[in-house]
C-alpha cells in the first residue's frame, strides 16, 4: 500500500457504543479537506488502556503495553507508524510498522493493540482511504459536531461490530430513574474498575466492584 495515499488519524476518545454497551475508539482525520470520524469497536481492557493514556493516568505497575514500549525502546526499535488497512466481515485489520537494526518490518495486529502502542510511542496512526470511504462518518466543520455525531451514531445502522462482541445475557439491568447523576456515576465506576483490573490493583478493584454492585442493586448512590 502506498504510504502517500494513507490518511493520518488521531484518537478523539473512547466511549461505549450506546446500543451495544461496548467500547468504541473514535479516530478523526488529522488534516485534509474532508473531516471524517472512524469508530472501531474494541475490548474493554484495550479501551481502558487507551483511555488511561489519553488522560495521562499512570498505573502503579507497568501494564502489557507499557512493558512492550520498554522492550522496544531498550532494544532501540522504533514504531514508525500503525496502519488500519482492511475491514472484512466487520472485522478491522491493522499493522505495526517497526524499524529495528535498519530493517523495516510489518507486524499484523488488532487495531486496538496497535493504537494503544502508537499513543504510548508517539507514533502516527493512519487509515486507508478505502476504509474511510466505506465506514467513515462525515463531520461538518464545527468541532462541536464531533460530540453530536458520536451521540447520533447509536441510531445509525451498525457499521462496526468487533469480533469480541459481548454476550447480551451478560448485560446488567440498572435502575436509572432514581437519580439523574446515577448513569454518570456508574460509568465512572466501571471505568475505574476496568483501570484497576488492567493495572492489577485487585484490592481497589474489589472495593469498586462492591460499590458498583450496591448501586446497581439499590438504584441509588
Residue 163 falls inside a structural domain:
no
Distance CA 66, CA 86 (A): 26
- Look up the domain containing 196 and give its range: 172-218
Choice among 34-48, 143-157, 196-210 with the minimum mean pLDDT: 143-157
- The fraction of the chain above a pLDDT of 90, given in percent, is 39
CATH number at residue 74: 3.10.690.10
Distance CA 189, CA 205 (A): 10
pLDDT greater than 90 at residue 58: no
Q: What is the pLDDT of residue 178?
A: 36
Q: What is the pLDDT of residue 182?
A: 54
Q: What is the pLDDT of residue 160?
A: 39
Inter-axis angle of helices 44-54 and 64-74, nearest 10: 60
- Identify whether residues 191 and 98 lie together within a single domain: no
Comparing CA positions, the residue from 189, 183, 195 lying closest to residue 209 is 189
Choice among 21-30, 66-75, 195-204 with the minimum mean pLDDT: 195-204
Choice among 44-58, 96-110, 190-204, 205-219 with the minimum mean pLDDT: 190-204
Look at the chain and report how many structural domains it folds into. Answer: 2
- Identify whether residues 122 and 200 lie together within a single domain: no
- Identify whether residues 74 and 48 lie together within a single domain: yes
Q: What is the pLDDT of residue 218?
A: 74
Choice among 3-7, 62-66, 116-120 with the minimum mean pLDDT: 3-7
Domain boundary among 127, 155, 183: 155
Q: What is the mean pLDDT of residues 70-80?
A: 95
Q: What is the pLDDT of residue 96?
A: 98
Over the chain, what is the mean pLDDT? 78
- Identify whether residues 143 and 178 lie together within a single domain: no
Q: How buried is 79 (Cβ within 10 angstroms: 0-12 exposed, 13-18 middle, 19+ buried)?
A: buried
Comparing CA positions, the residue from 79, 115, 108, 81 lying closest to residue 93 is 108
pLDDT greater than 50 at residue 173: no
pTM surpassing 0.85? no
DSSP secondary structure, 22-76, as one string: EEEEEEEESSSS--EEEEEE--HHHHHHHHHHHTT---SS--HHHHHHHHHHHTT
Taken in order 178, 184, 187, 191, the sign of the CA dihedral is negative
Amino acid at each position: 500500500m502506498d504510504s502517500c495515499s494513507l490518511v493520518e488519524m488521531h484518537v478523539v476518545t473512547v466511549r461505549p457504543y450506546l446500543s451495544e454497551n461496548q467500547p468504541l475508539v473514535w479516530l478523526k482525520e488529522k488534516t485534509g479537506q474532508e473531516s471524517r470520524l472512524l469508530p472501531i469497536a474494541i475490548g474493554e481492557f484495550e479501551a481502558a488502556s487507551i483511555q488511561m493514556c489519553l488522560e495521562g493516568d499512570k498505573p502503579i505497575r507497568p501494564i502489557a503495553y507499557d512493558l512492550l514500549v520498554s522492550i522496544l525502546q531498550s532494544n532501540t526499535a522504533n514504531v514508525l507508524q500503525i496502519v488500519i488497512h482492511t475491514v472484512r466481515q466487520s472485522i478491522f485489520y491493522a499493522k505495526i510498522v517497526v524499524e529495528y537494526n535498519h530493517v523495516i518490518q510489518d507486524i499484523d495486529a488488532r487495531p486496538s493493540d496497535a493504537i494503544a502502542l502508537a499513543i504510548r510511542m508517539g507514533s502516527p496512526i493512519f487509515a486507508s482511504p478505502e476504509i474511510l470511504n466505506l465506514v467513515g462518518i462525515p463531520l461538518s466543520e464545527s468541532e462541536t459536531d464531533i460530540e453530536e455525531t458520536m451521540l447520533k451514531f447509536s441510531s445509525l445502522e451498525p457499521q462496526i461490530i468487533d469480533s469480541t462482541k459481548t454476550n447480551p445475557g451478560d448485560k446488567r439491568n440498572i435502575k436509572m430513574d432514581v437519580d439523574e447523576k446515577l448513569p454518570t456515576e456508574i460509568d465512572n465506576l466501571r471505568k475505574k474498575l476496568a483501570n484497576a483490573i488492567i493495572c492489577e490493583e485487585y484490592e481497589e478493584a474489589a472495593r469498586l466492584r462492591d460499590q458498583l454492585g450496591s448501586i446497581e442493586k439499590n438504584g441509588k448512590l
